[in-house]
Structure formats: structure tokens, C-alpha cells
Chains A and B, each alone.
Chain A
Amino acid sequence: MDKIFYTLSILTIFTAIMVVASKHPIRSILYLVATFFLISAHYVLLNAQFLALVNVVVYAGAIMVLFLFVVMFLNLNKDIERFKSWIPAFAALISAGTLLMIFLSATRTSQLTIESAGSHDIGLVETIGEVLYRDYLFPMEICSVLFLVAMIGIVLLNRKEKVNTQNVMQP
């Protein structure tokens, strides 16, 4: 089964790189959708069924559609320069590379004691539902408030400002 894992991994990384390296924004968006699907496949491999579905629905279904809408409405498909000049790119490479090295070396040197202490069906919808509504009820309700706030913010942001040009009372 590790073959599946390796295939999926390489594909994921490939699509991620294509997101970064694509010329057109639309292509980047499409590659990103592919990446999301592949990550959902990883979730399925880990028996996180609920999250796999949610990932597809929320990310690939809602967020990416939002991106597509924005790009297509505002006609942002025009080509601007892809990458930055070489000094910031070099600095970015160095710093991001440093972080990668740190993570990888942490992987190598750390001793992980992952033990399976619980059941294996934690990814099932029923289990998640139980845990969510029993232990994490309050954060879930707060999330709804979060969405409300985000909606209000977006609506306010996109309001047209009225410009008062004359000091005349209009009936």
C-alpha cells in the first residue's frame, strides 16, 4: 500500500509546484483544485472520511470557486510578471530552505513515540459528530459567529461610499 502513498505524495508535490510555477492564474487555480483533491485522497488513506469530504466540499467546492469567480469577473487573467527579481527570490529560497532543513532535521533526530491509544474509527462521521457536539460544542457555535462577522465585514468592505458634493438638503 505504500506505493499508493508514494504516488499520491509525488503527485501532490507536483501539482503544488505547478500552482507556484504556472503562467496563468486560471491554470494555477485549476492545479490548486487538483492539489486539494489529492490531499483529500490522503485523508481517505488515513481513514479520515469525514474530513476528506469536507475538504473537497469546502476547499475545492467553495473556496476555489470563489477564487475563480474573482479572477473571471475582474478579468485578472492578464499576464503580469511571474516571479520577482532575483534578490528577493534568493532570500526567499534561503529562508524557506532553512525552514525546510530545520523540519527535516527535526524529523531525523527526533524520537517519535506515536502509539495508538484509541480506536481506529475516529475518522468516521458518527465519531466526529459525537466528539464535536459533546466536547467541542462551544467552539463550534463560535464558528458560526465567526462566519457572521466575516459576512458583515465583506458586505461593509464592498459598499459604495456616498460622496456629498453639495450642501443642499434633498427631500
Chain B
Amino acid sequence: MSPEIILHLILWPPLLGFLINGIIGFKLPKWAVTTVACSMPLISFTGTVMAYSTMLNKAATVTLYTWFVGEGAAKVDFAFFIDNLTLLMLFVVNGVGSLIHVYSAGYMHDDKGFHRFFAYMNLFMFSMLLLVLGDNLIVLFAGWEGVGLCSFLLIGFWFENKEYNQAASKAFIMNRVGDLAFIIAIFMTIYTTGGVRFQDIKETLGEGVALNSFIMVVISVLFLIGVTGKSAQIPLFTWLPDAMAGPTPVSALIHAATMVTAGVYLVARLHFLFDTAPAVKTVIAITGCITAIVAASIALKQNDIKKILAYSTVSQLGYMVAALGVGAYTTAVFHLMTHAFFKALLFLGAGSVIHGLHGEQDIRKMGGLKNKMKWTYGVMLVGTLAIIGCPPLAGFFSKDEILAAVYANNFWFFLILAFASVFTAWYMLRMFFATFHGAYRGSEDSYHKIHESPWIMVIPLLALAVLSAIGGFAGLPEITDQSHKVFQLLNKSIEQPRFHVSHLFEYSLWGVTIVALLVIFYFTKRRYTNMDIRENDNEHFVIRLLKGKYFLDEAYAWLFVSPLKKAGSWFMNFFEFGVIDRLVHFPANFLQSGSYALRSLQSGKLSTYLLYSVVALACLLVLFMII
């Protein structure tokens, strides 16, 4: 199996699925649409497995054709690069993606845009694969834009609702801000290094480049802005909670597992570039830490189950970005992998809850679901424990590794992230107990309508639960004397030194974690099992601040949106109505008034016509005499 065939097997099936479902999907019966749509990611997954078996530890480049023909830096190939980092990302994207496709077949079953949904999902898979398989910045950017587009299409999937459309526009526009910085960064990279291929840039930058030179700092900052837009960091993260307007599988796939991790992947892929500007890496770490704690604090007071998970995603992305900032690239990618597992699980489980409650999303109206939805309860328990870092589940290992890596760099980062972990545990357990324990807080007859989800939705949940449980064992820390498999895998792609912390610190971290978790478990169970849902008018201003999401949306609206809207309406009045309309209407009005004036010539009066003819004759004769 040559790399070319494997590449074609991985890359093209989702595009084919998009074309089939997009063009003729409305005519096909539902089972046909489902089969086409779900089999394509599975074919890609098969290709991934084949790639793993044949190309492990061997990097391969497959060039399809020359995209931009030119000399030197102007020559860009439509080429793909498969190495260990790509293999890991492919596993995450294709594996989680296939499971979510299967789940969506059950979740979106009654929707009238069934075929359109799967067409968009397959298009998204294709774009994401372009992104992770790209050999150069241009192909990566093509995938980057493609996932942004699919995010827009899928968030605004139920397009009849105006607010959903606004949420989709908000996501797209914030992404765009990042994309602009990304494009400028690409141009500057071409200018400094003379190439766009990752291999070429690596070689150029490896030859003793001065650290923190101005231009490298600028390029790194621009890439950072791009990452901020795509991976929802401060200050461009407000689109992610609003993106929960889309269907839950979309939230799971795009906004938990894959698209938002594109930024993390980019930094990992371009680690050599960021290594030349350590000042920017500090900025990246600060950004990640602040994002983690701000988002975690907001999640403490949210009541919509999907919004809690959205802020949780932002917070976890902050963790990953912080890890990237301190130089622990493999750790960040490891957390990316485990986060994909349990966050997708949590979102799909939340989708199962919403599906079972016929659309209810407010946790204040839930409660006592553990008796009615046993499978969902089980998998959500696994997911919650995974995310809060309960041993021996996946989140424990990856999160502790991030904390350790950050501690090795700077104590204050560690402290911030530790607080963020406490918040994470608190709000996740709050959500869990409020939803599943205690008594049901909704109406009586809606309680009878609650049902467990069908098997087609439960099986992917079980698969993800298993992955969340055992996924951590791929990255065991030093003190267990086992090899860190992910590190071994990625070290081939990302050569960086392994951070070291003392064994004492590791053990004490484990101990503190377990104790803290038990304490938080006890307190949240007591407080939120029968949640106090009374409205409190006299709230502390901190609580109001958190409930209002730090009023960031309002601040952005005041700072950016209303001036732009006012400028837009001013321009419309001045140019559209004042200039262009006048310009266009002028010939019409002129002709109309002119013809009106000329119409009076045809009075119908014979005498006038006679006069005209004599006058004309006189004029003609005069002219003949003159000329």
C-alpha cells in the first residue's frame, strides 16, 4: 500500500459523501443518506489504520499536482504530508468523527434537513482532513477556511431562526479576524523564509536564526491571533458559547473535538517557528492561562447544559494553549486527544439528555434522570469524571501532565491553572448532580415523556466512554516507570526536550488532586442535588458578573459592532442613496422630464404643424444659403 493510495483513501471519501448527499440527497431515502454519510468517515478511518500500520515512524509526502506554478516561493503544490503527528490527529478526527456521524443519524432523524446536515458534516470532515494532512501552509489554510465555513453552515443549520443565524455570523466573523492575521503571517513567512512547506520552513529556521528578532516576533504574534480566533482564546472566544445554537452533534464534532483544536495543531506543527521567539511563547502561555480561568469562572454560574460544556471547552483549550506556550507541545496534543474523547462524550450525552427531554436544555428544570436514562447516566458519569481529572480516567493523566509542565516553567501559571481545575471540577459536578440526581424539577406530565435514547445513539456513547476511560494510559508519566506512548510517538515529529519535575512534586500533585476532588464531590453533591432555583434579587456583584459572562458580549457590541453598524448605515445613506441612486435615477428622470417637455410639441393642432413645417423650411433654406 503506497502512501498515495492511502492518502486517496483517507482524503476523498468525505468529499464524495458531500457531493452525493448535497446534490441528490433530497431525493434519496433516509437509510441511503445515512449509509453514504456514515460510511465515508469509516472509510477514512480504515485508511488511517492502514496508514498507521505502514507509515509509523516514517514520514511521507504525497504531491498531487502543482497548484500555483512559479519559481521558488511562488511554487505551491497541492501536497500532503503524513508523519506521526498527522497520524495521531487523523485517529482523533476520523475516529471521533465516525462515531459522531453514527450518533447524528439517530439524533437528527426527525429533521427535515437530514441530507443537508450530513452533506455539511462530510464537507467538514474533508476540510479538517485537508487541514491536518496539508504539507504546506496554503493547503492547511484551505482546510482552515473550509472548517470555518462548515462551522458557519452547521451553526446556522436551523436557519429559520434569526438568532441562530446571528450566532453563525458571529462565529464566522470572529474566525475571520483570526484568518486575516493568519494570511498576513503566511505572507511574512514566505517573505522571511522563502517557502511555505513545513519542511522547508523548518530547515530555513533551523540554521541559527537569532532569537526574538522583530520579524519572527511579528509572525508568531500574527499566528497567535489566528489561533485565538479559531481555538477560542481570549479575546476572541465569545463565539463558541453562541455556537451552541447548532445541533448537538455539531457542537460535539466541531466545537469540541476537531475544529477548535486546529489552532493547537497549527502551533504544534509550526513549533520551530515559535521556538525562535520565546517572548511570544510566554504571551501564548499567559493567554492560555487567562482563558482557562476566565472561562471556568463563567461556567460556574451558567444554567444551560450546552453553555456549561461550551465554556468548559474554552477552558480546556486554554489549558492546551498554555501547555503549548511553555513548550510542552506533545503534552498539549495529548490533552487534545483525551479532551476530544471526553468532550465529545459529554456533548453527545448532553444531546441524549436533550433528546430524551424533548428539547429542554436548562439544568434547573432537570433532575432525577438517573433512573429514567440509565445508559446516558452511566456514560455521563464516566465523562464527568474524566474531565475533572479523576484517576484512572483519561483526563487525570493529561491534565496532571499539563499542570506539571506548567509548573516546570512558571509557578504563577501553575497556580492559575490549578484554580481553573478546581473550578472545572466544581461546575462539572454541579451540572452532573443537578441533571441526574435529586428529584425532577420539571412538570409532571413531561416526566412521563422522558425516554432513553435509541441504540444508534447509545453505542457511540459507549465507545467514547471506553476511550475516555482507557485513553489516559497512552500517556503515563515518569513516576509510573511506563513509557509515555504519545510522547514516543510524537517525538519523531516534534523534537523537543522533555520537561522534568521532581518525583516529589508529581506524587504530591496526585495526592492533592485526589483529596481536592473528594472534597469538591462532597460539597457539590450536597448543594446541587436538589438545586436551589429560586431567583435571588440581592446577588453579590461577583455572581452577577459571572452570570453576565463578564459582560464581554456587551462590551464587544459597544466597541466594535455598533460603530461598524453606524458607519455602515452612514455609508449606505451617503453612497447608496445619495450618490448611486441619484446617479442612476438622473438619466431616467432627465429622460422623463425631457420627453414630457417634448410631448407638448405634438399638440395635434394642424396649424401648429403647418407653422413648424414653414419654420423648418425657412431654416433649411437659410442653412443651404450659408453652407
Q: How far is the CA of A88 from the CA of B607 in the complex (A)?
A: 9
Q: Are B621 and A92 in contact (CB under 8 A)?
A: no
Given contact pairs A84-B607, A88-B607, A95 touches B614 in the complex (Cβ within 8 A): yes
Would you call B622 and A102 a contact (CB within 8 A)? Answer: yes
Determine which of B607, B614, B621 lies in contact with A102 in the assembled complex, contact meaning CB atoms within 8 Å.
B621
Residues of A within 8 A of B601 (CB): none
Q: Give Cα distance in the complex from A96 to B618, angstroms.
A: 8
Q: A98–B616 Cα gap in the complex (Å)?
A: 11
- Nearest-neighbour CB distance to chain B for A73, whole angstroms, equals 22
Residues of A within 8 A of B611 (CB): 88, 91-92, 95
Expressed in whole angstroms, the Cα–Cα distance for A84 and B607 within the complex equals: 10
B612-627 vs A, Cβ < 8 Å mask (1 yes, 0 no): 0011011001100100
A99 touches B614 (CB 8 A): yes
Q: Is B607 a contact partner of A99 (Cβ separation < 8 A)?
A: no
Contacting B at CB under 8 A, from A99-139, are 99, 102
B614 proximity list for chain A (CB < 8 A): 92, 95-96, 99
Measured between beta carbons, the chain B residues less than 8 angstroms from A84 are 607
Cross-chain contact B607 with A91 (CB below 8 angstroms)? no
Whole-angstrom CA separation of A96 from B610 in the bound complex = 11
The residue on B at minimum CB distance from A89 is B611
Instruction: Please give, as numbers and ranges, the residues of chain A lying within 8 Å of B625 by CB-CB distance.
Output: 102
What B residues does A96 contact at CB under 8 A?
A: 614, 618
**Nearest chain A CB to B102 CB, angstrom units:** 78
Inter-subunit contact A98/B607 (CB<8 Å) = no
Chain B residues within 8 Å of A99, by CB: 614, 617-618, 621
Is A95 a contact partner of B618 (Cβ separation < 8 A)?
yes
In angstroms, Cα B611 to Cα A98, docked, is 13
Counting chain B residues whose Cβ lies within 8 A of the other chain, the interface size class is 10 to 19
Number of A-B contacts (CB under 8 A): 25
Return chain A residues, CB-CB under 8 Å to B608.
Answer: 88
Contact with B along A81-96 (1 / 0, CB 8 A): 0001000100110011
Q: How far is the CB of B485 from chain A (nearest CB, A)?
A: 103
Q: Which of B569-627 contact A (CB under 8 A)?
A: 607-608, 611, 614-615, 617-618, 621-622, 625
Closest CB of chain A to B73's CB: distance in Å? 80
What CA separation (Å) do A99 and B620 show in the bound complex? 10
* A residues in contact with B622, CB < 8 Å: 98, 102
Expressed in whole angstroms, the Cα–Cα distance for A61 and B608 within the complex equals 32
- C-alpha gap A98/B621 in the complex (Å): 9
- Inter-chain contact B618/A102, CB cutoff 8 Å: yes
CB-based contact B615/A95 at 8 Å? yes
Q: Is the interface of B mostly helix, strand, loop or mixed?
A: helix
In the assembled complex, the Cα of A32 lies from the Cα of B611 at a distance in Å of 23
**Neighbouring A residues of B617 by C-beta, 8 Å:** 99
With both beta carbons as reference points, the residue of chain B lying nearest to A106 in the complex is identified as: B625
Nearest-CB residue, chain A, relative to B625:
A102
* Assembly CA distance A99 to B622 (angstroms): 9
How far, in Å, is A152 (CB) from chain B's closest CB? Answer: 25
- List the B side residues contacting A98 at CB < 8 Å: 618, 621-622
The answer to whether B621 and A91 have CB atoms under 8 Å apart is: no
CA A99 to CA B625, docked complex, whole Å:
12
A102 to B611, CA, bound (A): 17
Across-interface contacts of B615 in A (CB, < 8 A): 91, 95
Residue of A nearest to B610 (CB): A92
Q: How far is the CB of A100 from chain B (nearest CB, A)?
A: 10
> How far is it, in angstroms, between the C-alpha of A88 and the C-alpha of B610 when the chains are bound?
11
CA distance A10 to B614 in the complex (A): 25
Q: Cα distance A87–B622 when bound, in Å?
A: 22
A102 to B622, CA, bound (A): 8
Distance in angstroms from B517 CB to nearest chain A CB is: 102
> How far, in whole Å, are A58 and B520 apart by their CA atoms in the complex?
131
Bound: A109/B625 CA distance, A:
12
Rounded to whole Å, the gap between the CB of A55 and the closest CB of chain B is 26
In the complex, A65 Cα to B626 Cα: how many Å? Answer: 44
Q: B526-547 vs A: 1/0 string, CB under 8 Å?
A: 0000000000000000000000
Q: Nearest CB to that of B616 among chain A residues?
A: A95
Instruction: Please indicate the chain A residues that have their CB under 8 angstroms from the CB of B618 in the complex.
Output: 95-96, 98-99, 102
A7 nearest CB across to chain B (Å): 31
Q: Nearest chain A CB to B612's CB is how many angstroms away?
A: 9
Q: Which residue of B lies closest to A103 (CB)?
A: B621
A14–B607 Cα distance when bound, in Å, is 24
A54 to B608 CA separation, bound complex (whole angstroms): 34
In the assembled complex, the CB of B477 is this many whole angstroms from the nearest CB of chain A, namely 108
* Cα(A88)–Cα(B615), bound, Å: 11
B165 CB to nearest A CB, Å: 64
Q: What is the bound-complex CA distance between A91 and B612, given in angstroms?
A: 10
CA distance A29 to B617 in the complex (A): 28
A134 to B617, alpha carbons, bound, how many Å? 36
* Nearest chain A residue, comparing its CB with the CB of B608: A88
A55 and B192 alpha carbons, distance in the complex (Å): 107
Interface centre among B607, B615, B622 (most CB of A within 10 A): B615
Nearest Cβ on chain B to A87's Cβ, whole angstroms: 10
Nearest Cβ on chain B to A141's Cβ, whole angstroms: 32
**Distance in Å from the Cβ of A8 to the closest Cβ of chain B?**
27
Return the chain A residue nearest B615 by Cβ. A95
CB distance from B262 to the nearest CB of A (A): 84
> In the docked arrangement, what's the CA distance between A92 and B622, Å?
16
Tell me the bound Cα distance from A84 to B621 in angstroms.
Answer: 26
* Complex CA–CA separation, A99 to B617 (angstroms): 8
**Bound: A142/B322 CA distance, A:** 110
Using Cβ atoms and an 8 Å threshold, which residues of chain B touch A91? Answer: 611, 615
Give min CB distance, B603 to chain A, whole Å. 11
CA distance A92 to B618 in the complex (A): 11
Q: Quote the shortest CB–CB distance from B76 to chain A (angstroms).
A: 79
A96–B619 Cα distance when bound, in Å, is: 11
> Could you tell me the distance between the alpha carbons of A92 and B617 in the complex, rounded to whole angstroms?
12
Which residues of chain A are within 8 angstroms of B621 by Cβ–Cβ distance? Answer: 98-99, 102
CA distance A84 to B606 in the complex (A): 13
CA distance A86 to B307 in the complex (A): 89
* Alpha-carbon distance between A95 and B618 when the two chains are bound, in angstroms: 6
Instruction: For chain A, residues 49 to 84, give those with C-beta under 8 angstroms from any C-beta of chain B.
Output: 84
Q: How far is the CB of A21 from chain B (nearest CB, A)?
A: 17
- Per the bound structure, the CA–CA distance linking A95 and B617 in Å amounts to 9
Q: Mark B271-284, 1 if CB is under 8 A from A, else 0.
A: 00000000000000
Contacts of A88 in B (CB 8 A): 607-608, 611
A119 CB to closest chain B CB (Å) equals 35
Alpha-carbon separation in the docked complex, A88 to B625 (Å):
26
A99 to B621, CA, bound (A): 8
What are the residues of chain B within 8 A of A102 when measuring CB–CB? 618, 621-622, 625
| 6 additional A-B residue pairs with CB within 8 Å, beyond A84-B607, A96-B614 | A98-B618, A98-B622, A99-B614, A102-B618, A102-B621, A102-B625
Show 17 A/B contacts (Cβ-Cβ < 8 Å), sorted by A: A88-B607, A88-B611, A91-B615, A92-B611, A95-B611, A95-B614, A95-B615, A95-B618, A96-B618, A98-B618, A98-B621, A98-B622, A99-B614, A99-B617, A102-B621, A102-B622, A102-B625
Chain B contact residues, CB within 8 Å of chain A: 607-608, 611, 614-615, 617-618, 621-622, 625
Q: Nearest 4 A-B pairs (CB), nearest first? A: A98-B618, A95-B615, A95-B618, A95-B614
